[in-house]
Amino acid sequence: MFWFDSIGCALGGSQQEDAKILLKHHRAMSGNGKATAFVSGFKTNPVDAAFLNGHMIRAMDYNDIYWKADPCHPSDLIAAPLSLCESEGLSGKDLVLATIIAYEIEMRLCEIGRPGVREYGWHHATLSAFAAPVAAGRVLSLTPDQMVSAIGISASRTFCPGAVTAGKLTNMKNTVDPWAGRMGAESALLAREGFSGPEHIIDGKEGLFAVFSHVQYKGQPASFDGEGLIKDLPTSSKSHYRILDCGMKSFPIEALSHAPLTAMMKTVKESKIKADDVNEIKVEVIARAADILGDPHKYRPDSKETADHSLPYCMAVGLVDGMVTPLQFHEERVRDQSLIPIMDKIKVVANEEFEALFPKFQPSRVTITTNDGKSHSTRVDVPKGDPRDPMTEEEIAVKFTALGGDVIGKEQCEKLRHCIMNIDSAKTVDELLALTIAG
């Protein structure tokens, strides 16, 4: 009889205001086809478009990176304001503003943890769920009360365990942050309609700060610098914006792999080392890099998702192929058994000296010992793409065309690049989305 009771509750519940808001929202989502999915041109509602496009941005693990107490990839949040700007008929300037806000909040959330949710076994998508509704809410011009509700709605649904990037990886590794972006968009839309969320989700009873305060790390309770979320918020063109501190990836791999891979490639090039010459490669990194990138599962990757988070694989294939690009993550290359003996020569160890320098620097030292007993060592503190060694606009354009040229064509890539670089003057984002569609 429980089903009988449940349906009775549902019939009565349909009269409640929250149920009416949800029904109105889902009717709008099923009938709103104004938002565009990249490449296919599929028209759908802005929530689904935010998820689809966010996943495509994230799927290759080739986007941006910011490391402080926690890591993050703020570009995971761009798809939500983009889809909302399109469906609401807003301008490129609106998109730029929402993007800057997304980066500001996401990056501040990564700075305020002591030491950060990653050290307690939680994924940074947990924090993305707090930032995503702020960016989406700015696009929708939410009132302060509506913005508070949007944050509460979104964050209530996303506390993501670190299991998604631990051990053997699955499709969910690249999906949890786009899901946070999706929920940011949906939560902002619900808040605009009057749906409420807990206002104490960050620093109130059983909110983010309180939940983590029960956890011990090296004998100390977790803590957050709440003031850091709002201190010296940028308000003018003369202010400093966090987006300027975010780096870009020059390899399609996990961010902490960039410094050791850069060091190895530099050593190999300068010393003219061949794969057959190598007896051992010792890789010294910070403790969390050794934990994430060098655990036993990473020595036998069987999928793209595990391979691009496997330091042994990335270094082995880089040594043999002389490059690490999307080509190195095709299934047949990942499963190539000839790389296994080389991976087994790679020893990943934590370096306490480097630990003290992180996150200001991401130090790594790679020492290659060749069969003749000689050692060749290189240390890198800042990987290419870091704001202190940034990719140039020309280098980004080369990466852009290499990724999109075979999908939409090089000529259309150039048009899309020009459109993006001038998006701040566009009256709508329609042309940008149209140029992402394959012919």
- CA–CA dist 290, 303 (Å, integer): 20
What's the number of CA atoms in the CB half-sphere (13 Å) around residue 226? 10
381-397 pLDDT tens trace: 998 899 998 988 988 99
Q: What is the pLDDT of residue 8?
A: 54
- CA–CA dist 405, 426 (Å, integer): 24
Q: What is the pLDDT of residue 216?
A: 85
Contacts of 303 (CB under 8 A, 6+ apart): 169, 170, 331, 334
- Written as tens digits, the pLDDT of the chain (439 aa) is 665 566 555 656 666 787 788 888 878 888 768 999 999 999 999 999 999 999 999 988 888 999 888 989 999 999 999 999 999 999 999 999 999 999 999 999 999 998 899 888 999 999 999 999 999 999 999 999 999 999 999 999 989 999 998 888 889 989 999 999 999 999 999 999 999 999 999 999 999 999 999 888 888 888 999 999 999 999 998 999 999 999 999 888 888 899 999 999 999 999 999 999 999 999 999 988 888 888 888 999 999 889 998 999 999 999 999 988 888 999 999 999 999 999 999 999 999 999 889 888 989 999 999 999 999 999 999 988 999 989 889 889 988 988 899 999 999 999 999 999 999 999 999 999 999 999 8
Task: Provide the phi-psi class of 61: left if phi over 0, else alpha when psi is between -120 and 50, else beta.
Answer: left
Q: Is 174 exposed, middle or buried (0-12, 13-18, 19+ CB in 10 A)?
A: buried
- CA–CA dist 121, 161 (Å, integer): 6
Q: What is the pLDDT of residue 32?
A: 67
Q: What is the pLDDT of residue 3?
A: 56
Whole-number Cα distances in Å, 227 to 31, 152, 203, 235? 42, 19, 11, 17
Task: Provide the phi-psi class of 330: left if phi over 0, else alpha when psi is between -120 and 50, else beta.
Answer: beta
Q: Where are the beta strands (DSSP E) in 83-178?
A: 113-114
Closest Cα partner for 37 from 419, 397, 409, 438? 438
Closest Cα partner for 288 from 69, 62, 66? 69
| Greatest Cα-to-Cα distance within the chain, rounded to the nearest angstrom | 81
Question: Torsions phi, psi of 426, nearest 5?
Answer: -80, 135
Place of tokens 């509750």: 9
Closest Cα partner for 90 from 150, 99, 179? 99
CB 431 within 8 A of CB 419: yes
Q: What is the pLDDT of residue 238?
A: 92
Closest Cα partner for 40 from 20, 55, 29, 25? 55
Q: What is the pLDDT of residue 62?
A: 87
Q: What is the pLDDT of residue 288?
A: 83
- CA–CA dist 133, 266 (Å, integer): 42
- CA–CA dist 304, 176 (Å, integer): 17
